[in-house]
C-alpha cells in the first residue's frame, strides 16, 4: 500500500548542495542512524545541543554563513553523500524481512494506535515506557518492512518538563511545542490544502488536522485539535498528555480512536488490522465497526464479528487503580448520538465497557471495551500475561483463569536507538560485523562478542561513563543556577561524581510501586557503602512524578534531601527532567541498573534492557521481564520472586538484600582488577549479559512475534470473512 505523502513544499531554505539535509531532517531515521546523527551534530555542535537535537529547528536557525561554509566543505559534502547513500539503501531495500517472508502481494495495512509515542527527545509526546515502546515498535516495523502506520495525538504542550526547587519539590513547566520547527509536517490533500476531519460529540463537531511524522518507512499520523475553528475548550483536547480531568481524557480518547480511524479513511487507508496499545485507543474498534456496518449494510453483531478478529489489544496495566474508567453519565454526554449510529441502545453500548454487562453501577472501562472487541489480547511479559489473566478473568465468567484468552508478548527495545553508536556500537561493527543492526535477533551474531578484547570493551564503557559524568555536571550546574544556588555550590558541581567510580543508575517514572527510594531504606548503611574510601560507589537518580501523584513527588523530595547529607555531595545526584536524551546517557554510562518494583506490579520494564544492551549489569527484583532471562552469570536478582503481604516487611527484607548484593558481590567484582587495571570477571559478565539479552529483548523479535502470531492470523481471518462480500 502506498500512503499519501506530504505535498513537497520546500520547508527549509538550503543551498543547493545541501538540499538533501532537509529530507534527512524530516525522517526520524536519523534517530537510530549514528552517522546521520553525527552529520547533524557536525553542522553546528552547540546548536545541535541547544535545539535539543532537533535537526529542523537547527536548520531553521543556523546562519546562512555557516551553511555556505558547509556547502564548500568537501569533507562535509562527502559525509552527506555517504549518509544519503545509506538512507537511500534503507528506504529502497527490497530485501526486508517482510518482503522476503511475505512477498509484496496483498494490500494489507496494520494501524498501530497509541496515546503516546517516544521517538526522540525533540518530539515530546511521551511520558514513559509505554510511549518509548510504541516508538521502538514503529522503528522496528520500518526495519522489517512491515506495512504499518502509527496513529497518535499531537500534544501542544506534550508532557511536562520537570523542574526541581531547592527543597526537592517538583514543579511542572509546560512550554508550548512549535510544530513548525519539529520534524513533522501537516498532512495535506492533493490540492495542497490541509487535511481536515471532523469528530462528532453529541453536542457538536470538533475539527481535527493531521500531522505526519515519517519514521523510516512508517508514517505516524498525529491528530491535532488546536485549530481556530474549534472552541477554546475543544482546542485544549490535544493540549497535554495525561492532563486534565476525566472529561478531558474521554474527549482525547474519542479523538484518538474515532478521529484516528476517520483520518486514516480520509487518506484512503482502511486498516486490515488494528493494534491498540493500551485501552486509550479502544474507540477505534467502534469506529471500525460503524464504518463496516455502513459500507456493507451489516448489523452491529455482524460487523463486530468481522472487526474483532482483526483487532489486537495489548494491555500494560497491573492494577485496577491504574486503568481508564469513565462514569456512564459522562460517556452518555459525549457519545449518546453515536450509539444509534451503531444501532445500539444506551444500555447495550455501556455494557460493552462493563465486566458485568448488566451492572448499571459499573463505570465504562476502556480495557474492557478493548478486550471485548479484540480476538487477540496480550500482556507484555510472561509474568504479566499471568497477572492479566487473573486481573481480567471476570470479563469471561465461563472461563477458568488458565483459559482466559490473554497471552503475552514480551516487550523489547530498538537496539540501534539505545546502543551507544560511537563506542560500544562501533566495537560491534568491528567484531560482530554490520549485521547486528539488521538481524539483531540472530543469536550467533551475538556470540561473537566473545571476540571483543576485554580491554577494548572496558575502554568503550569507561568512555560512556566519562561522558555521562560530564553531562551530569553540566546539568547539575544548570539546575543549581536556575534554583539560585550560591556560586560556591554551583562551582562544586564541577566535581560532582567521579568518572572512574562504580556508578549505579536509577531512573524511572516516580510511581510508588517502583519504589525508587528502596535503596535509601537504611541511610547509614547506604552512606557507608557509598563513601568507602577504597571502593566508593555513586548513584544517579532521575525521574518525573505525574503532576497529581503526591506520593511520587514525596519520593523525589526524599532523595533530594538525602543528596544533601554531609559527605555525600560528590557521590549522589538527582538530575531533573528525565527524558529519552538523558535516558540514553544513563543506560550507556552507568555500571549497575537498579530496578526495585513491588512484584508483580511491573508489567515488563524496558530500561533494564537498554542498559543490558550496553553491557550494564542489572540488579533487579524478579519482576516484569527479568525472571525470563535472569541467571547468575548476567546480573543479580533481589529476592527469589516472593510476593509479600506485608509491604513494610518486604521493604526491610529487600533493601537489606540490595546492600548485601552490593557489598558481597557487585563492589568486589568491580574493583577486583588485574595488572592492567581491568576487572576481568566484570567484563565477562558484561559480555554474557549482552549475549543473552540483545538477541531476545529487542523490538525486532517483538514486532515479528506480533506479526506472526497476531497480525497474520488476523489478516487471514479478515480476508476469509470478507472474500465473498
Ligand X SMILES: *Cc1c(COP(=O)(O)O)cnc(C)c1O
Nearest-angstrom CA–CA distance, 533 and 529: 9
Q: Which stretch binds ligand X (CB under 6 A): 12-20, 95-103, 126-134, 469-477?
A: 126-134
Q: Looking at 198-206, 245-253, 575-583, 685-693, which segment touches ligand X (CB under 6 A)?
A: 575-583
Question: Which single residue is written with the C-alpha cell 486481573?
Answer: 391
Rounded CA gap, 689 and 611, in Å? 10
Q: Does 516 bind ligand X (CB under 6 A)?
A: no
Nearest Cα residue to 261 out of 278, 284, 237: 284
Q: How far is the CB of 609 from ligand X (least distance, A)?
A: 8
Q: What DSSP state is assigned to residue 578? A: -
- The contact pattern for ligand X, residues 12-41, with x = CB under 6 A and - = no contact, is ------------------------------
Distance (Å, whole) CA 660 – CA 638? 10
Please identify which residue in 148, 258, 583, 661 interacts with ligand X, judged by CB under 6 A. 583
- 439 forms beta bridges with none
Cα separation, 379 vs 722, whole angstroms: 29
Distance in Å, CB of 577 to ligand X, minimum: 10
* CB nearer ligand X, residue 579 or residue 591: 579
Pick the piece of the chain touching ligand X (CB under 6 A) from 54-62, 350-358, 373-381, 600-608.
Answer: 600-608
Smaller CB distance to ligand X: residue 150 or 608? 608
Minimum CB separation from ligand X for residue 639, in Å? 18
Q: Is 606 in the site for ligand X (CB under 6 A)?
A: yes
Instruction: Tell me whether residue 128 or residue 600 sits nearer to ligand X (CB atom).
Output: 128
Q: Which span (76-84, 141-149, 604-612, 683-691) binds ligand X, by CB under 6 A?
A: 604-612
Stretch that binds ligand X, among 40-48, 88-96, 302-310, 573-581 (CB under 6 A): 573-581
What's the angle, vertex CA 278, arms to CA 271 and CA 254, rounded to 5? 65
- Cβ contacts of residue 89 below 8 Å, gap of 6+? none
**Least separation in angstroms between CB 128 and ligand X:** 4
Smallest separation (angstroms) from ligand X to the CB of 616: 13
Of 128-136, 162-170, 473-481, 533-541, the window that binds ligand X (rule: CB under 6 A) is 128-136
Q: How far is the CB of 440 from ligand X (least distance, A)?
A: 17
From candidates 368, 580, 690, 703, binder to ligand X by CB under 6 A = 580
Compare residues 365 and 582 and give the one whose CB is closer to ligand X: 582
Alpha-carbon torsion angle 504, 508, 510, 514, nearest 10: -80
Q: Which is nearer to ligand X, 579 or 700 (CB)?
A: 579
Contact 461, 686 (CB under 8 A): yes
| Per CB under 6 A, 605 contacts ligand X | yes
**8 A C-beta contact, residue 625 and residue 612:** no
Q: Where are the beta strands (DSSP E) in 83-226?
A: 110-114, 148-153, 161-164, 170-173, 185-186, 196-200, 205-215, 218-224
- For the chain, give percent helix, strand, coil, nearest 5: 50, 15, 35
One residue of 128, 147, 219, 421 binding ligand X per CB under 6 A: 128
Among 21, 59, 125, 132, binds ligand X (CB under 6 A): 132
Distance, in Å, from the CA atom of 530 to the CA atom of 488, rounded to the nearest integer, reads: 23
* Euclidean distance between CA atoms 545 and 554, whole angstroms: 9
What's the CA angle centered on 595, arms 589 and 597, to 5 degrees?
A: 160
Residue 568 DSSP SS3 = coil
To ligand X, the closest distance from the beta carbon of 608 in angstroms equals 6
Of 306 and 409, CB closest to ligand X? 409
The residues that bridge with 212 in the sheet, in sequence order, are 185, 221
How far apart are CB 131 and ligand X at their closest, in Å? Answer: 8
Distance, in Å, from the CA atom of 25 to the CA atom of 40, rounded to the nearest integer, reads 9
Q: From its phi and psi, is residue 221 left (phi > 0), alpha (psi between -120 and 50) or beta?
A: beta
**Closest CB 579 distance from ligand X, rounded Å:** 5
Task: Give least dist CB 480 to ligand X, A.
Answer: 23
Among 26, 578, 711, 718, indicate the residue that binds ligand X (CB under 6 A): 578
* Residue (28 or 458) nearer to ligand X, CB: 28
Which is nearer to ligand X, 275 or 514 (by Cβ)? 514
Using alpha carbons, select from 28, 42, 45, 46 the residue that is nearest to residue 79.
42
CB of 157 to ligand X, least distance (A): 18
**Least distance between ligand X and beta carbon 140 (Å):** 15
In angstroms, give the least distance from the CB of 578 to ligand X. 6
Does position 607 interact with ligand X (CB under 6 A)? The reply is yes
Whose Cβ is closer to ligand X: residue 625's or residue 707's? 625
Site for ligand X in 133-192 (CB under 6 A): none
Q: Tell me whether residue 316 or residue 372 sits nearer to ligand X (CB atom).
A: 316
Q: How far apart are alpha carbons 165 and 556 in whole angstroms?
A: 11
Q: How many CA atoms lie within 13 A of 81 on its CB side?
A: 8
Q: Which is nearer to ligand X, 131 or 679 (CB)?
A: 131
Binding-site size, ligand X (CB under 6 A): 13
Could you say whether residue 508 binds ligand X (CB under 6 A)?
Answer: yes
Query: What is the rounded distance in angstroms from the CA atom of residue 479 to the CA atom of residue 525?
Result: 28
Q: Enter the DSSP assignment of 496.
A: S
Q: Which of 224, 278, 579, 654 binds ligand X (CB under 6 A)?
A: 579
Distance in angstroms (rounded) separating the CA atoms of residues 338 and 372:
18
* Least Å from the CB of residue 87 to ligand X: 25
Q: Which is nearer to ligand X, 143 or 623 (CB)?
A: 623
- DSSP-H helix ranges across 504-564: 523-530, 550-563
Nearest CA to 704 out of 234, 97, 207 is that of 97
662 secondary structure, DSSP code: I
- Minimal distance, residue 606 CB to ligand X, in Å: 5
* C-alpha of 151 from chain center: 15
Q: Which residues pair with 113 in a beta bridge?
A: 151, 276
Q: Which is nearer to ligand X, 365 or 694 (CB)?
A: 694
DSSP category for residue 199:
E
Stretch 202-261 residues interacting with ligand X (CB under 6 A): none
Shortest gap between Cβ of 544 and ligand X (angstroms)?
9
Nearer to ligand X, 175 or 453 (CB): 175
Taking every pair of Cα atoms in the chain, the longest distance, rounded to a whole number of angstroms, is: 79
Could you tell me if residue 216 is left (phi over 0), alpha (psi between -120 and 50 degrees) or otherwise beta?
left
Site for ligand X, residues 94 to 113, rule: CB under 6 A = none
- Shortest Cβ 232–ligand X spacing (Å): 32
State which residue, 469 or 582, has the beta carbon closest to ligand X.
582
Residue number with CB closer to ligand X (262 or 508): 508
- CA atoms of 602 and 518, how far apart (whole Å): 15
Report the helix count and the strand count for the chain, using DSSP H and E.
32, 20
Interior angle at CA 690, CA 689 and CA 693, nearest 5? 80
Stretch that binds ligand X, among 127-135, 160-168, 427-435, 612-620 (CB under 6 A): 127-135
Kindly tell me which of 260 and 597 has the beta carbon lying closer to ligand X. Answer: 597
Q: Which residues bind ligand X (CB under 6 A)?
A: 128-129, 132, 508, 578-580, 583, 605-608, 610
Amino acid at each position: 500500500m502506498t500512503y499519501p505523502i506530504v505535498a513537497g513544499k520546500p520547508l527549509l531554505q538550503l543551498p543547493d548542495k545541501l538540499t538533501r539535509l532537509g529530507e534527512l531532517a524530516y525522517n526520524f531515521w536519523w534517530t537510530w542512524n549514528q552517522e546521520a546523527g553525527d552529520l547533524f551534530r557536525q553542522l553546528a555542535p552547540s546548536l545541535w545541543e541547544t535545539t535539543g537535537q532537533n535537526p529542523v529547528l537547527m536548520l531553521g536557525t543556523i546562519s546562512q554563513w555557516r551553511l555556505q561554509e558547509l556547502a564548500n566543505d568537501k569533507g562535509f559534502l562527502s559525509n552527506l553523500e555517504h549518509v544519503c547513500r545509506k538512507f537511500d539503501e534503507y528506504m529502497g531495500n527490497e530485501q526486508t524481512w517482510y518482503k522476503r517472508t511475505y512477498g509484496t502481494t496483498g494490500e494489507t495495512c496494520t494501524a498501530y494506535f497509541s496515546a503516546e509515542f517516544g521517538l526522540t527527545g525533540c518530539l515530546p509526546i511521551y511520558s514513559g515506557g509505554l510511549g518509548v515502546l510504541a516508538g521502538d515498535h514503529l522503528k522496528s516495523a520500518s526495519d522489517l518492512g512491515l506495512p504499518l502506520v502509527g496513529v497518535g495525538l499531537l500534544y501542544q504542550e506534550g508532557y511536562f518538563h520537570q523542574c526541581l526547587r531547592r527543597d526537592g519539590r517538583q514543579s511542572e513547566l509546560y512550554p508550548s511545542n512549535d510544530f513548525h520547527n519539529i520534524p513533522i509536517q501537516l498532512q495535506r490533500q492533493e490540492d495542497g490544502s490541509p487535511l481536515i476531519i471532523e469528530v462528532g460529540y453529541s453536542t457538536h463537531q470538533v475539527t481535527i488536522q493531521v500531522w505526519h511524522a515519517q519514521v523510516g518507512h512508517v508514517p505516524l499520523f498525529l491528530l491535532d485539535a488546536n485549530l481556530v475553528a474549534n472552541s477554546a475548550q475543544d482546542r485544549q483536547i490535544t493540549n497535554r498528555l495525561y492532563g486534565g480531568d476525566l472529561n478531558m481524557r474521554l474527549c482525547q480518547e474519542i479523538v484518538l480512536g474515532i478521529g484516528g480511524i476517520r483520518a486514516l479513511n480520509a487518506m484512503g487507508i482502511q486498516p486490515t488490522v488494528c493494534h491498540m496499545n493500551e485501552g486509550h485507543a479502544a474507540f477505534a474498534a467502534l469506529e471500525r465497526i460503524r464504518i463496516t456496518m455502513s459500507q456493507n449494510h451489516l448489523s452491529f453483531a455482524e460487523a463486530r464479528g468481522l472487526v474483532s478478529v482483526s483487532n489486537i489489544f495489548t494491555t500494560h496495566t497491573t492494577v485496577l487503580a491504574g486503568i481508564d474508567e469513565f462514569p456512564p453519565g459522562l460517556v452518555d454526554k459525549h457519545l449518546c448520538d453515536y450509539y444509534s449510529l451503531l444501532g445500539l441502545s444506551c444500555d447495550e453500548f455501556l455494557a460493552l465497557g462493563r465486566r458485568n454487562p448488566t451492572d448499571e453501577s459499573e463505570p465504562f472501562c476502556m480495557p474492557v471495551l478493548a478486550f471485548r472487541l479484540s480476538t487477540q489480547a496480550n500482556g507484555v511479559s510472561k509474568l504479566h500475561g499471568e497477572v492479566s489473566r487473573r486481573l481480567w478473568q471476570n470479563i469471561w465468567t465461563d472461563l477458568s483463569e488458565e483459559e482466559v484468552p490473554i497471552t503475552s508478548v514480551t516487550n523489547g527495545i530498538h537496539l540501534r536507538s539505545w546502543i551507544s553508536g560511537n563506542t560500544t556500537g562501533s566495537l560491534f561493527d568491528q567484531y560482530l560485523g554490520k549485521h547486528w543492526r539488521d538481524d539483531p535477533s540472530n543469536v550467533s551474531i551475538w556470540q561473537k562478542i566473545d571476540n571483543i578484547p576485554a580491554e577494548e570493551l572496558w575502554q568503550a564503557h569507561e568512555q560512556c561513563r566519562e561522558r555521562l559524568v560530564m553531562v551530569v555536571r553540566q546539568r547539575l550546574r544548570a539546575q543549581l543556577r536556575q534554583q539560585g544556588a550560591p556560586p560556591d555550590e554551583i562551582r562544586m558541581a564541577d566535581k560532582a561524581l567521579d568518572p572512574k567510580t562504580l556508578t549505579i543508575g536509577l531512573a524511572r517514572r516516580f510511581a510508588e510501586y517502583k519504589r525508587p527510594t528502596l535503596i535509601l531504606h537504611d541511610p547509614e548503611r547506604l552512606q557507608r557503602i557509598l563513601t568507602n574510601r577504597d571502593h566508593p560507589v555513586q548513584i544517579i537518580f532521575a525521574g518525573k512524578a505525574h503532576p497529581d501523584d503526591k506520593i511520587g513527588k514525596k519520593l523525589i523530595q526524599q532523595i533530594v534531601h538525602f543528596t544533601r547529607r554531609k559527605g555525600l555531595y560528590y557521590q549522589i545526584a538527582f538530575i531533573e527532567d528525565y527524558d529519552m536524551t538523558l535516558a540514553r546517557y544513563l543506560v550507556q554510562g552507568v555500571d549497575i541498573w537498579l530496578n526495585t518494583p513491588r512484584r508483580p506490579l511491573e508489567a515488563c520494564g524496558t530500561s533494564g534492557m537498554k542498559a543490558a544492551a550496553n553491557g550494564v549489569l542489572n540488579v533487579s527484583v524478579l519482576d516484569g521481564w527479568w525472571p525470563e532471562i535472569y541467571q547468575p552469570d548476567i546480573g543479580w536478582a533481589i529476592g527469589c520472586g516472593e510476593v509479600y503481604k506485608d509491604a513494610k516487611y518486604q521493604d526491610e527484607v529487600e533493601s537489606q538484600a540490595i546492600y548485601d548484593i552490593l557489598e558481597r558481590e557487585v563492589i568486589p567484582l568491580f574493583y577486583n582488577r588485574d595488572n592492567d587495571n581491568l576487572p576481568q570477571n566484570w567484563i565477562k559478565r558484561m559480555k554474557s549479559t549482552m549475549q543473552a539479552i540483545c538477541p531476545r529483548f529487542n523490538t525486532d523479535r517483538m514486532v515479528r512475534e506480533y506479526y506472526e502470531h497476531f497480525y497474520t492470523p488476523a489478516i487471514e481471518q479478515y480476508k476469509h470473512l470478507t472474500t465473498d462480500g
